[in-house]
Structure 1
């Protein structure tokens, strides 16, 4: 084969995992928004350089912009060759892409091929990859048999998913992928949610690695996890799937939530801000009472109150309305929120849902 090889993403998908390195040569900001899972970022133009070249193109003209861009690209490619690529052997097999598979990835792949590496460039670049993900997410969920974990807030659905994964079950943890716990108090401090496109890439990447003959465990979710939207086809498939309802004694639910939301104990100001978001539902007087519980350090009482007056009723309405097989769901009682209890529950569920 003549290198650099140029192939469409549709032909590369079956052999994507055979490449030693997937190189995204776009700017760091483009890479941060989304990228092919497993890719590394080796930009041929920095964020600032990309803006500089684009501005020159609009204000002066294509020739001057290309001349500046070529100099910057050459400098940056040299830096990558002298740095992260320096010790790669001759049979190192990289896959390179940029936004549309044109100038930036073309320059990188041409130089790597002239050195002697068997490099392939994605024709159509990230844009082609993104089109493939959109198509797959509309069809792929129908290939799987999902099993949905239901149960009120604090019953341990996310914790059980982690134990299922540890025992080798196929798990799609949407809250983990979204970096959010799925409620008004679910944002994680100092850890922002990914971009919507990155969330969808993560879902696609997991689904493409699953065995369609085995069940996929997932938590009952609404259409949005924080500010991110669950893909429509996946949501529809989940809502039509079989369910198991978890139950955990109320004191253990409170203890579990205090454990998983421990950051609010350290940052009561942020907790107060989040509680204020519930004012339209519960009124200023009740919110003031909850603020007083926070101020007096009565966190267990606050959690129990929130469960009784907010979370449990809303969850019961939502899950009954949205999950078609809830009436035929099995039940799984977890006696406490200890690790052995969840390990045992995971083993039981794996056996039950064959």
Structure 2
């Protein structure tokens, strides 16, 4: 049997014990329903082999080969990852379009006695729901931005507000990037995977309550903020946080300790600013890094590069500032106090 879903929330709320993506590993790596596990019935190489036989020989021979491979891989999954599943286990299975791969696997699982459902339309129906949510329709959520110059601990404050029960959407965390040329935190997800994670996060939030989002550009690293989210961000009121440059510099040097410890990576990132700041200024910054003057380097980067760019952007967009919060010395206590005030501002409007 197959089951149809028309929204992201329906997918996530479906009462199944396990969601199984039977597509090839490369398909799963690009994007999948959040929380799904990958039990491919055809590997990438096997899928390519079946496709070649289909095109160069005949559909019949391709189906025959595919059936043998699916049966062999299904046996490995049943004896491996599924070996501990009891008789009452209820899985939901999907492939690319809800066709042969998912149905073939589901038939085998049903013969064991498990109550299996197949997603009608497969992964494509999930992707359609994500596009409908993030591209085609306006968000129902009431977005409020936390804004401030570089080094004002916006991500830290976002996490503290969440710990107090506030609703937040952590774009940088989901994108695995801190939003500047110094912001890489490892591999980023593919664009489709990024959008699936965003859709799942938004679906779990109450649209009646405000959602705090860090003010970002339309790109985070290599990823684009989907249009519905970006439109909501552009129209959103802001809570502006501020602190003295010296306090921000100290905080930033600590927050980017991973980058500070990698001299070669730091030099490479600074070199990316040459087209914007020129060789002489970047060379001065590189000398600070080489000497270990990271607090001074952070201060110089903010005063000479980031703060002017933020000011120019704000002058162009003239955002609505709902409230301003001073972070003081940016100590632990100061940030906790600021988070408490921001959480109150969210709930009181």
TM-score, normalized by length of structure 1?
A: 0.93
Alignment partner of 1:269 is 2:270: no
- The 2-side partners of 1:126 and 1:111 are apart by 20
- The 1-side partners of 2:73 and 2:168 are apart by 40
Unaligned runs of 5+ in 2: none
The residue that corresponds to 1:300 in the other structure is: 295
Matches for 1:144-159 after TM superposition, within 5 Å: 144-159=141-156
The residue that corresponds to 1:23 in the other structure is: 20
Runs of 4+ residues deviating >6 angstroms: none
- The 2-side partners of 1:37 and 1:232 are apart by 21
- The 1-side partners of 2:151 and 2:282 are apart by 21
- The 2-side partners of 1:133 and 1:11 are apart by 8
Please report how far the alpha carbon of residue 249 of structure 1 lies from its aligned counterpart in structure 2 after TM superposition: 2.6
Matches for 1:203-214 after TM superposition, within 5 Å: 203-214=198-209
Aligned partner of 1:341 among 319, 334, 340: 334
Alignment partner of 1:185 is 2:182: yes
- The 1-side partners of 2:340 and 2:196 are apart by 30
**Tell me, what secondary structure is at the counterpart of 1:192?**
coil
Task: Render the CA deviation track for 1:36-71: whole Å, top value 9, x for unaligned.
Answer: 011011111122222222233333332222222211
Aligned partner of 1:10 among 3, 6, 9: 6
**Tell me, what secondary structure is at the counterpart of 1:143?**
coil
Aligned partner of 2:73 among 58, 73, 76: 76
The residue that corresponds to 2:52 in the other structure is: 55
Question: Does structure 2 retain, via aligned residues, the 8 Å contact 1:150–1:319?
Answer: no
Question: Does structure 1 retain, via aligned residues, the 8 Å contact 2:288–2:294?
Answer: yes
- The 2-side partners of 1:323 and 1:85 are apart by 56
The residue that corresponds to 1:230 in the other structure is: 225
- The 2-side partners of 1:162 and 1:51 are apart by 44
**Tell me, what secondary structure is at the counterpart of 2:278?**
helix
Moved more, 169-178 or 258-267: 258-267
Question: Does structure 1 retain, via aligned residues, the 8 Å contact 2:8–2:199?
Answer: no
**Tell me, what secondary structure is at the counterpart of 1:10?**
coil
Please report how far the alpha carbon of residue 339 of structure 1 lies from its aligned counterpart in structure 2 after TM superposition: 2.9
TM-score, normalized by length of structure 2?
A: 0.94
Question: Does structure 1 retain, via aligned residues, the 8 Å contact 2:133–2:228?
Answer: no
**Tell me, what secondary structure is at the counterpart of 2:139?**
helix
**Tell me, what secondary structure is at the counterpart of 2:96?**
coil
- The 2-side partners of 1:52 and 1:238 are apart by 46
- The 2-side partners of 1:264 and 1:318 are apart by 26
Matches for 1:311-330 after TM superposition, within 5 Å: 311-322=306-317, 324-326=319-321, 329-330=322-323
- The 1-side partners of 2:8 and 2:280 are apart by 60
Moved more, 192-201 or 272-281: 272-281
The residue that corresponds to 2:243 in the other structure is: 248
Aligned length: 346
**Judging changes above 3 Å, is the alpha-carbon distance between structure 1 residues 264 and 14 closer, same or farther for their aligned structure 2 residues?**
closer
